Structure 1
């Protein structure tokens, strides 16, 4: 089994945080988004992963540190890491085809901008499984249309009339991903574009037209990381899940508390110092950060940052920040100073 992860986008909706760190590498509950996504996919697959192929953008942005992080991720899962580049933002189908040498055998394709919680078995009778989430407002999403055998027969974008309540979340399984590669190559050769881009859906629709069987795999939770507010909400939800699971240590043994209280669930990284402060619930604090004389809740604070005299709620603060003040709902990028 292979995993293909297109992640070349700049994450403009998450600025200023994505100005210095690619969005898939921004930590949520103590781990980068793409790390959590890939690990959760591996848990669902329940089988060895031989290769993880990452499709990155410009090397000036997705540099050596990003590549090293992804290689370490793959190695930790017993897989080979393959690195590809998408030099132009030409759509989901184009991004997949940038990893053409890896498009053979069974594979999962996952776009690295969401997190999931799921527990299901892949349908071995299907040529493909499209992962979905039941939603209350399907008119706001791309959804699948099912026949009487619960096979997917159509993909419908933001339907005006009810089609189904199963929204497509951007994760796909292919029994033989080479079939999708063949269809997408024809899309490229014929210059078939939607919205000025080459789309994975056009390849999938051609597979359906040839009678390939598509089924759904429904996830329990689907969490977005598109902008500041949604990322903070995802951090809160993920911390609650991790606390309930009890499988990850959320407070580092090297964290130092001086007249301070942690209200769980929280993630507190290595060498964090909390002094005269109350932190939590639903706070993630990255390595080597200091929080002093402050109250922080429902917030995400990255590494090497110092917070003093603050009352923060629903704040997202980057790396290497110095903040001293009385603001509340803030969004501060890396290397900022507010004193």
Structure 2
């Protein structure tokens, strides 16, 4: 499971993790449940249907073979129709309910049921025996499943489907499925990774998310610090920039030596930029110390200057693999 505050790049990290796992020879399924089609955009493939599709291969390394990455876009309405067809034999009748808006009504008034359906589909993909008649690729056994999960503020509620369902269904097949899903989510087979950037609100939300996950007995994996900036100045220069002690005349002479026309406006602007950069770096360093105190493994990914395309995903996957996350 990969979660994170909006804007931290959790979908990018989930995609990179899937590629990293595939690069160890594993067949990997990456699932998304938020309806944004973020996975298809990252991998530059057509919008994903409610059906498992192969979208990429991992990079083979160390003389081994590369695995494949499959993807599945899960939506509650399709999952409920499939559920009705599999357990209640409501094939055409289920589609008729959908036309009348009953499916959307059921999944809207009972969000606990919606989450059970979404997580239940992930559970089905994790089973070695695939149920006939489902949208799963029969015969494909996945070595790993990566879920691009909801944001940190909702992750514990989303995964703890039993508590959400308590007021809706205390017995019956839906309750049984929720119990089965929770057994998997609380087992050593599952890890919830949290993505953050070095800013106060995302780091605090990550810390709160870890507390919530522990409270619900859900297994925390690690924290991925994403969008790291390069360290262009050493500690001494950063301290001087923050204190306004940079040598103005020396900087001017060095710029002139590089062939630039130097005036006071240029120097004022550069010194102001240096001060702002040093302040930003001090904030990031403070947040990094807080992340280090969270008591879980941490991994770091850089901000890619050209943005994230498929080549960038492979680059991030190689870094996650080198850091031991895959």
- Per the normalisation by structure 2, the TM-score is 0.31
| Higher helix content, 1 or 2 | 2
**TM-score normalised by length of structure 1:** 0.30
Structure ranking higher in strand proportion: 1
Larger radius of gyration: 2
Greater relative CO, 1 or 2 (CA 8 Å, sep 6+) = 2
